[in-house]
Amino acid sequence: MEQLLDRILEDALNNARKMIELGKTATYIPELGRVNKEYLGVCICTGDGRYHVSGDSDVRFTIQSISKVIALAAALERCGFEKTFDRVGMEPSGDSFDSLVRLDLSSDYPSNPMINSGAIAIASHLSCEVSFERMLAFTKKLCMDDEITLNEKVYHSEMGHISRNKAIAYLLESKGILESSVEDSLDLYVRMCSLNVTARSLSGFGLVLASDGINPLTGERLLHSKVVQTVKSIMLTCGMYDGSGRFAVEVGVPSKSGVGGGILSVVDKRMGIGIFGPALDTKGNSIAGQHVLRELSSKMRLHMFADHVPEY
């Protein structure tokens, strides 16, 4: 069974390589534009804590929007459900991740915490409550990876090209949604986006979410059940931005992408999956990474509504 899983991973990766040429790295953050777009890696962490890898699964890259899952979990743990969702919704926006149109025209608060406006609102709550160092320590625990650090180059590169997120933050401030200054909110938001992870770290985080918030290796509970349930629901409906609906139909696994090329996927009660593939589609999701997940979902029957679930 172990070997079969390794072969499925290898094949999925090789079949997805052809997609790379159709994607582009995220050049709007210049440092991300310098990453080699040929990288492709996948890691699965199964319930017994064993890692199965293929390709560039130990190359460090920035977590980007996948940190929105960690920030949401931290906000729910610290501030509770009511306060967290007081100023950010839980509906898919159908717009691109950095849009501010809906926020300005038809809503008083961001659609959900997985798009930039929602995550900046969450970061503004968090920055009153918790330091970046505490958030980094929390991230290391959730990912079961002590080597996670801030990527200073990417942090400064994004801070130097922050106009759009600044516009979003000022719009949030004008609507009375920010709890700390525009500068403090953006600083925590961008620091969290600039954490260096690997496909392996994301698979570890995925396994914690698949295991109801418990680190299965130590038995330590890291998140409350209700928090995990909420986070996974929002990942399913909003985690792939305006590609979330199609992804849910085709893959059927709660996931979250980032413009660094990462995808975090949670196969409930079974495994966590981490992907790294920095060539992105037009919506900002890893183009080859999604191909890998489509193949894994169909070959391993990972879809949450699959009728028959095999052993691995």
Positions that interact with ligand GLN (CB under 6 A): 64-65, 97-98, 116, 158, 165, 193, 258-259, 284
Q: Which of 117, 241, 256, 257 is catalytic?
A: 241
| Annotated catalytic residue 65 | yes
Take residue 63 and report the two structure tokens written for it: 């977590």
- Output the smallest distance, CB 290 to ligand GLN, in A: 14
Among residues 184 and 268, whose Cβ is nearest to ligand GLN? 184
| Annotated catalytic residue 189 | yes
Say which DSSP state 87 is in: S
Among residues 193 and 253, whose Cβ is nearest to ligand GLN? 193
Q: Which of 54, 57, 65, 67 is catalytic?
A: 65
193 contact partners, CB below 8 Å, separation of at least 6: 62, 63, 64, 65, 67, 154, 158, 258
Say which DSSP state 213 is in: T
Q: Which of 42, 190, 251, 259 is catalytic?
A: 259
- Output the smallest distance, CB 41 to ligand GLN, in A: 18
Residue nearest to ligand GLN (CB): 65
Gap between the Cα atoms of 51 and 101, Å rounded: 42
Among residues 138 and 241, whose Cβ is nearest to ligand GLN? 241
CA angle 116, 163, 161 (to 5 degrees): 95
| Annotated catalytic residue 155 | no
Among residues 98 and 212, whose Cβ is nearest to ligand GLN? 98
Among residues 46 and 180, whose Cβ is nearest to ligand GLN? 180
Task: Classify 114 as helix, strand or coil.
Answer: coil
- Output the smallest distance, CB 111 to ligand GLN, in A: 15
| Annotated catalytic residue 241 | yes
H or E stretch covering 72: helix 67-84
H or E stretch covering 119: helix 116-129
Gap between the Cα atoms of 239 and 237, Å rounded: 6
Cβ atoms of 273 and 265 within 8 Å: the answer is yes
- Output the smallest distance, CB 82 to ligand GLN, in A: 27
- Output the smallest distance, CB 276 to ligand GLN, in A: 13
- Output the smallest distance, CB 308 to ligand GLN, in A: 35
Among residues 221 and 283, whose Cβ is nearest to ligand GLN? 283
Give strand pairing partners of 42: 54, 275
| Annotated catalytic residue 259 | yes
The order of strands in the sheet holding 262-267 is: 51-55, 41-46, 271-276, 262-267, 255-257
Cβ atoms of 115 and 93 within 8 Å: the answer is yes
Q: Which of 141, 189, 190, 292 is catalytic?
A: 189
Burial (CB count <10 Å: 0-12, 13-18, 19+), residue 133: exposed
Task: Classify 257 as helix, strand or coil.
Answer: strand
Question: Catalytic residues, which ones?
Answer: 65, 68, 189, 241, 259
